Amino acid sequence: MSLITLGIESSCDETGIALYKMGTGLLAHALHTQIAMHSEYGGVVPELASRDHVRRVIPLVRQVLQEAGVSLKQIDAIAYTQGPGLGGALLVGASVANALAYALDIPTIGIHHLEGHLLSPLLSDPAPGFPFVALLVSGGHTQLMRVDGIGEYQLLGETLDDAAGEAFDKSAKLLGLGYPGGPALAALAAQGRPDIYKLPRPMLRSGDFDFSFSGLKTAVLTLVKQSNHELQTRADIAYAAQEAIIDVLAHKARAALAHTGLDQLVVAGGVGANKMLRERLSHDIEKRGSRVFYPDLEFCTDNGAMIAFAGALRLTKQRGSKHYRFNVKARWNLQELDYAD
């Protein structure tokens, strides 16, 4: 059956809407980012984020329906990000999804935000097949997972403190860069020189698949305080910080593939858009005879397409719910994901 799923993403500072049809693929998607609004404050302001989602979500739904040539009555189910994320922002998406589904008498399905990221590379061509190792790298999460199928996720390791994205953002702030910090640091690092500074690689040889990046931030702070603050010096520090983060991610990803005996690595999350990370992983993983898969750049950050797609896949495993609830989960461990009705 070619079900059409509407996806709504509103977990943080992007409002994403998409339509996905089983057997056909992505019909249309739209995204509004709040970067310009939050940049004035140097980070996401939760109340402002929620209010902006309220303004954007309905116009974006109308836009996507028009672009796809689909009417409301043709939608079979609505998927929305149930968590984790900012509580108020999540409630906007959940409220719209459940109210619209109630009016149309169709089911809703709450999606775990990280599951959306985890499955987003399957939207690309070529796409990986199951099983694979997934490296989830975003502003709030750094995890290595073994993925054997839809809903079959085994945590191999995760960050014990700061995530990789936080390490990028905090290092960028120490270097006087704007928001969002990750892309700004990567742009500055492109002007930097290798081997000028050597920063620590936390837990590189820990023998497990866990991460820690808080010490790296402290080392960057020490370098910045000792530096002359000239552009080239700042670029060299940015290069060293980026290289340290990527060295750890690449080493742990290779180790996870060796441990599991799998030959496919999937990289997902906003940090997955980093050019140096992609180049390094592609070189290292393909050198060992394995393959690495990335989402298209437009699907690395939060988006509605990954939620619509995850919802469509979930509907092949379980029925959606007509018990319309606004029970969002600001904190939600992926290991707690339950496919039971």
pLDDT digits (tens, 9 = 90+) for 238-250: 999 999 999 999 9
Q: What does R_g of the chain's alpha carbons equal in angstroms?
A: 20
SS3 130: coil
Contact predicate 70/19, CB 8 Å: yes
Q: Say if residue 105's pLDDT is above 70.
A: yes
**pTM, rounded to two decimals:** 0.94
Architecture, CATH, for domain 4-118+300-336:
2-Layer Sandwich (3.30)
Least trusted range by pLDDT, from 138-142, 257-261, 307-311 = 138-142
What is the tens place of the pLDDT at every residue in 174-198?
999 988 899 999 999 999 999 999 9
Contact predicate 240/196, CB 8 Å: yes
**Residue whose tokens read 């709504």:** 8
DSSP 299-324: GTSS-HHHHHHHHHHHHTTS--B-S-
Per-residue pLDDT at 340:
61
Per-residue pLDDT at 337:
82
Length of the chain: 341
What is the tens place of the pLDDT at every residue in 80-104?
999 999 999 999 999 999 999 999 9
Dihedral, CA of residue 60, residue 61, residue 67 and residue 70, to nearest 10: 180
Tokens of 107: 């089911």
Domain with CATH 3.30.420.40 in the chain: 4-118+300-336, 127-294
Tokens of 322: 């007509």
Tokens of 257: 């593939």
**Residue whose tokens read 């014990």:** 160
What is the tens place of the pLDDT at every residue in 279-311?
999 999 999 899 999 999 999 999 999 999 999
Measured CA to CA, the distance from residue 329 to residue 333 in angstroms comes to 10
Query: In the chain, count of helices (H) and strands (E)?
Result: 10, 10
Least trusted range by pLDDT, from 135-139, 144-148, 306-310 = 135-139
Measured CA to CA, the distance from residue 231 to residue 197 in angstroms comes to 15
Average pLDDT over the chain, rounded to an integer: 94
Cα dihedral sign for 50, 161, 337, 285? Answer: positive
Q: Which residues pair with 321 in a beta bridge?
A: 108
Tokens of 187: 């742009």
To the question of domain 127-294 being in CATH 3.10.450.40, the answer is no
Q: Say if residue 1's pLDDT is above 60.
A: no
Tokens of 242: 């980026």
Contact predicate 135/124, CB 8 Å: no
Q: Say if residue 341's pLDDT is above 60.
A: no
Least trusted range by pLDDT, from 41-50, 261-270, 319-328 = 319-328
